A and B are shown apart, each in its own frame.
Chain A
Amino acid sequence: MDQQIDAVRMGWLPFYPQFNENPIEVIRRAEQEGAKTEAEIKDWVVTQIKNRRLRFAVEDPDASENWPRVWIIWRANAILSSAKGHEFFLKHYLGTHDNSIAEEVAKGSVQEALWREPARKGKMDLVVDLNFRMDTSALYSDIVLPSATWYEKDDLNTTDLHSYIHPLSAAVPPCWESKTDWEIFKALAAKVSALSPRQFPVPFRDIVATPLLHDTVDDLAQPGVKGWYRGECEPVPGKTMPHLSVVERDYASLYHKFCSLGPRFKEEGVEERGIHIPIGDLYDRFAASAPKYEWDGREYPSLVEAIDAANTILRFGPETNGEMAYRSFEARERETGLKLTDLARDNRGIHYDFETLKAQPRRILTNACWSGITNGGRPYSSYCQNIERLVPWRTLTGRQHLYLDHEAYLAFGENLPTFKPRITAEASLNLADSRAEGECLMLNCLTPHGKWHIHSTYSDDLRMLTLSRGIEPFWLNDKDAARIGVRDNDWVEAYNDNGVIVTRAVVSARIPAGVSLFYHAPERSIAFPKSPLRRNRRGGGTNSVTRLRLKPVLMAGGYGQHCYRFNDYGPAASDRDTYVLVRKLPGKPQW
């Protein structure tokens, strides 16, 4: 936790809520004390932080003013599948039943975090879930907004794992009361605007802290690790601490803003992977032909319909507009001094709009924001531009390198990749309070991708459950299984301090002795029975036996390629260090 607090203070990682005070109130106080311009407000806030009159929320996560309070879930089974340490989420976020028996152990070992006893529960006031199925996240939510499925909405899907852009097009309208994601968010915007005259009659200012970001000048911010809070340097936003921005919130106009493509986009252009692509002329051309949305006496390109939004993205994405791809290489040429635009010359006139994609999924165009070269039907492979065209790698040296001279890596002895043995069950603390019950095995529990489980609900479908075991099973080595009298398809209870899973066993010599597999991430509501060991409460899912334990060096940022980027660079959890005890379920399963 102390590492996490350091990382937030130094701008290495984001954390929300940001401060121990409502950021709107922070601005009001700043204004009362004479700060007017953005620069004055930021100075005032820095002084407050430096003097500890304003604190980062992460420093005291159990203080009620620092609870997150509102959780909007979209396109995820976040409470189960994404929540590593699911049972702790149930306990501390939702304040509902859970199967964890882990004791708090950090007392005395944390210096920077304020220690409060008991650890607080139920930090969420409101959980809203946009969902097309009644999964665990929906079951625990206060409000479920039923959403359209793949063939009921116009939308775009893509990933960096293949080179196609998939359109989803509405073959049929959404069933019953469900709405498309776009319509749901639009309706939320409309409601906020409708309520604003009473709650927020005039626009107001808000202060936002953001971490030092990958592929920006922030890569050069911190050549050494220095903590301003330890007096090692001055707190300077965007250098030694997070960026601070003053943002105007105009909630009364939120709906109009949602529905229109604003002028700042035209002025600022597209910024991606360290390059800036100007779009002024493209915006004007687009605005001339795009559907219009008018408010406050001005006309804007419309984003009212989902297709309008999709077409806007496709028009300004270097992946789907050849001119944008060409300009991305022009920008990269300016940055590197290399000749690169030939990679985009042949595609310069190509532009995919939603109708084009509906006719046939298309591959992304070769552009400088991605490192592959797909011209001439070549399969996508990353880093081709770096190898073949000598575009510098996005690292400190511009080369592939193994040696990391970040001071945090040096301090942890991880500046060169070295073999590190698996941690022991004792060190994992997974089994500190769990006891072996009868014939029991202690196993390392891995939660890998199954062949029908790649971050998808596919394996939860009746067809796929029929083609497997009707439930997500627990895989055991044959000799291990024999030691506790478990045969194939017997019910087993796998438990540790974090939680418990009750399911069927699959026994196979393919699994090495001492190891078990439970593929992630099956939906918990699919036929999982109760656990006699945990007060006859419902057995959990993959993340019931995991807990969130972040690798500290991956929090380190502010220097070269180590800077944070959403879904790209940041701390990963160490699930492979999970240990469980496994026994045969006594008696018949109970639901």
Chain B
Amino acid sequence: MNVRVQVSMVFHLDKCIGCHTCSLACKNLWTSRPGAEYMWWNNVETKPGTGYPTLYEDQEEYRGGWEVKDGELRLKLNTRAGELLNIAYNPRLPALDDYYEPWTYTYGDLIDGPQQEDQPVFKPVSLVTGKEMEIEAGPNWDDDLGGSGIYAANDPNLSSLSGEQRQQLLNVERVVFFYLPRICNHCVNPSCVAACPAGAIYKRGEDGIVLVSQEKCMGWRMCVSGCPYKKVYYNWETGKSEKCILCYPRLETGQAPACMHSCVGRIRYLGVLLYDADRIHDTAARPDHELVDAQREMILDPFDPEVVRQARADGVAEHVIESARKSPVFRFVKKWKIALPLHPEFRTLPMLFYVPPLLPVTGSMSEEGLYETSSDFFSSLESARLPIRYMANLFSAGDDEQVTKIYRKLMAGRYYKRAQTVGDVDSGKIAQMLAEAQTTAGELEEIYELTSLAGFDERFVIPPFSREAAIELVQITQSRQEGGGMGFVHEPRRGL
């Protein structure tokens, strides 16, 4: 056992309203710069939909992530040798058309435009060429377009559904969509790191945040291809790649990442996970249907004395272990087992997790013109608007049972609370649902508390940053304070 620390996030998708405030907070803070306009370190996708960049989930096209071939875990992109041969030619890159051409408008036309006989307007101009342009794509082009024959219908996750199931999703009574916020998954087995010929990408030891060194990056863009989530972006102005940094400057000062801090629906939870680094390779190489369970086993229980002993031996600070015990992420992922990684079959061991959404029930127009919902809408998974298979394709490498188990628990929770607050469900039914979901009233209460009532301090639990550890990297700590970051070495210069 080799205990490491990961700052990790859970997204509760039932609570996401698709307002994109997280995307804006991130964009305003980090990527409103020349060359970074098209970067959305945080974006929110309508699902079913094609995502951003378009169809990024299709690894037959993009060859991101890992595969097991001849018993060996290796980059899907190519082998190390092949990569060096192809280093100057990389056909697996998304191009501008797969993203979009960022634009602004000729705002000045409203004030400086020529006199005319009609109301003036401003027109779109490209932020790349500076020329007038027609807007044909955007970073959220299929927003709310569940039921679109162009976008939703081409979601790669629908591929294993039956033709009838797919057709139903286009009927107005069955039309459905939900939102999927995405940032870098700060993977434990990151393919961007493995793909980088310059060794510029690294995973921080203290919190597992994956970063691109702007000094070492040489702009080969293998990371862009290597990342199956397309969460590394190439800055065409600086010639370097960039990605989500999980707002580490904010984390180090005890603040939540901007995306989380601004979240209107309070869907995000941030906390520490301990995991066993000795198991990374074995976990990532397991067959598809074992990936979710294997990753959950790789994540360690901070209440287990054996884990704690080893964590201490591996240099994990006491307050980090304490924090891991209070981690809301630990509870969702490991204890209650109701949060899943996105596309575990990419085998990067993504360390962000999603509570799958309980979608609206199906309804239909009766002959009398009344809208009727199915009567068993709390209990029947079969009548869920999106087939379980679709969720399984997103969150469990196609293993329906993993998703079904979670839905049984979530539905048991809803029924249990409904019995409490409305009182129209009989106790026999509740007992049956709890048994089927292999849960208890106590656990459901806990889930309810953290899902519905938790305040910010319960949703955001990280250990304080070990300032002394950073300082001792660069200087002797047994000196007086003026050498240690407080006070000024010389008088500050002021004025413009």
Check if B171 sits within 8 Å of A509, measured CB to CB: yes
What chain B residues lie within 8 Å of A464 (beta carbons)?
A: 20
Check if A97 sits within 8 Å of B124, measured CB to CB: no
Check if A510 sits within 8 Å of B147, measured CB to CB: yes
21 CB-based A-B contacts, threshold 8 Å: A97-B118, A134-B111, A139-B110, A139-B120, A451-B144, A452-B19, A466-B103, A466-B139, A469-B138, A470-B138, A478-B147, A478-B149, A478-B170, A488-B151, A508-B145, A509-B171, A509-B175, A510-B175, A524-B121, A527-B105, A527-B121
What chain B residues lie within 8 Å of A524 (beta carbons)?
A: 119, 121
Given known pairs A462-B104, A462-B105, the reply for A469 and B135 (CB within 8 Å) is: yes
A487 to chain B, nearest CB (A): 8
Q: Please, how many angstroms separate the alpha-carbon atoms of A464 and B23 in the complex?
A: 10
Q: Which residue of B lies closest to A528 (CB)?
A: B121
Check if A134 sits within 8 Å of B20, measured CB to CB: no
Check if A463 sits within 8 Å of B148, measured CB to CB: no
B 109-128 binary contact with A (CB < 8 Å = 1; else 0): 01100000111111110000
A290 to chain B, nearest CB (A): 37
Indicate the member of B24, B104, B146 with the most A CB atoms within 10 Å. B24
Chain B interface main SS type: loop
Check if B148 sits within 8 Å of A478, measured CB to CB: yes
Check if B138 sits within 8 Å of A510, measured CB to CB: no
B425 within 8 A of A: no
B 14-27 binary contact with A (CB < 8 Å = 1; else 0): 00011110011001
A364 to chain B, nearest CB (A): 21
Given known pairs A466-B138, A468-B140, A469-B141, the reply for A525 and B119 (CB within 8 Å) is: yes
B105 to chain A, nearest CB (A): 7
Check if A507 sits within 8 Å of B119, measured CB to CB: no
Check if B147 sits within 8 Å of A508, measured CB to CB: yes
B116 to chain A, nearest CB (A): 10
B150 within 8 A of A: yes
Q: Which residue of B lies closest to A504 (CB)?
A: B135
Check if A510 sits within 8 Å of B172, measured CB to CB: yes
B 167-202 binary contact with A (CB < 8 Å = 1; else 0): 000111001000000000000000000000000000
Q: Which residue of A lies closest to B149 (CB)?
A: A478
Q: Please, how many angstroms separate the alpha-carbon atoms of A530 and B120 in the complex?
A: 10
Q: Please, how many angstroms separate the alpha-carbon atoms of A134 and B122 in the complex?
A: 11
Q: Please, how many angstroms separate the alpha-carbon atoms of A467 and B140 in the complex?
A: 5
CB-contacts of A449-474 with B (<8 A) = 451-452, 462-464, 466-471
Interface residues of A (CB under 8 A from B): 97, 134, 136, 139-140, 451-452, 462-464, 466-471, 478, 487-489, 504, 506-510, 512, 524-530, 537-538, 591
Q: Please, how many angstroms separate the alpha-carbon atoms of A489 and B143 in the complex?
A: 13
A451-B18, A451-B19, A466-B138 known, 15 other contacts, Cβ within 8 Å? A452-B19, A462-B105, A466-B103, A467-B20, A467-B139, A469-B138, A488-B148, A507-B148, A507-B149, A508-B147, A509-B171, A509-B175, A510-B145, A510-B147, A528-B121
Q: Please, how many angstroms separate the alpha-carbon atoms of A510 and B172 in the complex?
A: 5
Check if B119 sits within 8 Å of A463, measured CB to CB: no
Given known pairs A463-B24, A526-B105, A591-B123, the reply for A468 and B138 (CB within 8 Å) is: yes
A498 to chain B, nearest CB (A): 16
Indicate the member of B17, B102, B135, B150 with the most A CB atoms within 10 Å. B135
Q: Which residue of B lies closest to A462 (CB)?
A: B104
B396 to chain A, nearest CB (A): 28
Q: Which residue of B lies closest to A138 (CB)?
A: B110
The number of chain B residues touching the other chain, given as a range, is 35 or more
B446 to chain A, nearest CB (A): 22
Q: Please, how many angstroms separate the alpha-carbon atoms of A508 and B19 in the complex?
A: 19
Check if B172 sits within 8 Å of A525, measured CB to CB: no
What chain B residues lie within 8 Å of A470 (beta carbons)?
A: 103, 124, 135, 138
Check if A139 sits within 8 Å of B138, measured CB to CB: no
A527 to chain B, nearest CB (A): 6
B490 to chain A, nearest CB (A): 30
Check if B120 sits within 8 Å of A467, measured CB to CB: no
Q: Which of B27, B105, B143, B172 lies in contact with A509, CB distance below 8 A?
A: B172
Q: Please, how many angstroms separate the alpha-carbon atoms of A165 and B123 in the complex?
A: 38
Q: Which residue of A lies closest to B104 (CB)?
A: A462
Q: Please, how many angstroms separate the alpha-carbon atoms of A462 and B104 in the complex?
A: 7
What chain B residues lie within 8 Å of A509 (beta carbons)?
A: 147-149, 170-172, 175
What chain A residues lie within 8 Å of B118 (beta carbons)?
A: 97, 530, 537-538
B136 within 8 A of A: yes
CB-contacts of B48-104 with A (<8 A) = 102-104
Q: Please, how many angstroms separate the alpha-carbon atoms of A139 and B111 in the complex?
A: 9
What chain A residues lie within 8 Å of B23 (beta carbons)?
A: 467
What chain A residues lie within 8 Å of B122 (beta carbons)?
A: 525-527
What chain B residues lie within 8 Å of A526 (beta carbons)?
A: 105, 121-122
Q: Please, how many angstroms separate the alpha-carbon atoms of A59 and B138 in the complex?
A: 53
Check if B148 sits within 8 Å of A591, measured CB to CB: no
A414 to chain B, nearest CB (A): 22
Check if B172 sits within 8 Å of A527, measured CB to CB: no
What chain A residues lie within 8 Å of B141 (beta carbons)?
A: 469
Check if B136 sits within 8 Å of A508, measured CB to CB: no
What chain B residues lie within 8 Å of A467 (beta carbons)?
A: 20, 23, 138-140, 143
B31 to chain A, nearest CB (A): 11
Q: Please, how many angstroms separate the alpha-carbon atoms of A504 and B136 in the complex?
A: 10
A202 to chain B, nearest CB (A): 43
What chain A residues lie within 8 Å of B24 (beta carbons)?
A: 463
Closest A-B pairs by Cβ, 4 of them: A509-B147, A470-B135, A134-B110, A467-B140
Q: Please, how many angstroms separate the alpha-carbon atoms of A483 and B117 in the complex?
A: 35
Q: Please, how many angstroms separate the alpha-carbon atoms of A546 and B119 in the complex?
A: 19
Q: Please, how many angstroms separate the alpha-carbon atoms of A493 and B337 in the complex?
A: 52
Given known pairs A467-B143, A510-B144, A591-B121, the reply for A489 and B136 (CB within 8 Å) is: yes
What chain A residues lie within 8 Å of B103 (beta carbons)?
A: 466, 470
What chain B residues lie within 8 Å of A468 (beta carbons)?
A: 138, 140, 143
What chain A residues lie within 8 Å of B20 (beta carbons)?
A: 464, 467
Q: Which residue of B lies closest to A588 (CB)?
A: B134
What chain A residues lie within 8 Å of B135 (beta carbons)?
A: 469-471, 504
Q: Which residue of A lies closest to B153 (CB)?
A: A509
Check if B121 sits within 8 Å of A466, measured CB to CB: no
Q: Please, how many angstroms separate the alpha-carbon atoms of A508 and B143 in the complex?
A: 11
What chain B residues lie within 8 Å of A466 (beta carbons)?
A: 102-103, 138-140
Indicate the member of A140, A467, A528 with the most B CB atoms within 10 Å. A467
What chain A residues lie within 8 Å of B111 (beta carbons)?
A: 134
CB-contacts of B8-48 with A (<8 A) = 17-20, 23-24, 27-28
Q: Please, how many angstroms separate the alpha-carbon atoms of A467 and B117 in the complex?
A: 32
What chain A residues lie within 8 Å of B18 (beta carbons)?
A: 451
Q: Which residue of A lies closest to B18 (CB)?
A: A451
Check if A525 sits within 8 Å of B148, measured CB to CB: no
Q: Which of A136, A488, A512, A538 lies in contact with B172, CB distance below 8 A?
A: A512
What chain A residues lie within 8 Å of B147 (beta carbons)?
A: 478, 508-510
Q: Please, how many angstroms separate the alpha-carbon atoms of A466 and B138 in the complex?
A: 6
What chain A residues lie within 8 Å of B149 (beta carbons)?
A: 478, 507, 509
Q: Please, how many angstroms separate the alpha-carbon atoms of A97 and B151 in the complex?
A: 40
Q: Which of A136, A451, A508 lies in contact with B148, CB distance below 8 A?
A: A508
Check if A525 sits within 8 Å of B110, measured CB to CB: yes
Check if B102 sits within 8 Å of A510, measured CB to CB: no
Indicate the member of A463, A470, A525 with the most B CB atoms within 10 Å. A470
Q: Please, how many angstroms separate the alpha-carbon atoms of A526 and B33 in the complex?
A: 23
Indicate the member of A134, A464, A529 with the most B CB atoms within 10 Å. A134
Check if A527 sits within 8 Å of B175, measured CB to CB: no
Q: Please, how many angstroms separate the alpha-carbon atoms of A489 and B171 in the complex?
A: 21
Q: Please, how many angstroms separate the alpha-carbon atoms of A538 and B117 in the complex?
A: 10
What chain B residues lie within 8 Å of A530 (beta carbons)?
A: 118
Q: Please, how many angstroms separate the alpha-carbon atoms of A422 and B105 in the complex?
A: 40
A88 to chain B, nearest CB (A): 16
Indicate the member of B23, B119, B141, B170 with the most A CB atoms within 10 Å. B119
Q: Which residue of B lies closest to A481 (CB)?
A: B149
Q: Which residue of B lies closest to A468 (CB)?
A: B143
Q: Please, how many angstroms separate the alpha-carbon atoms of A526 and B122 in the complex?
A: 6
B49 to chain A, nearest CB (A): 12
B380 to chain A, nearest CB (A): 23
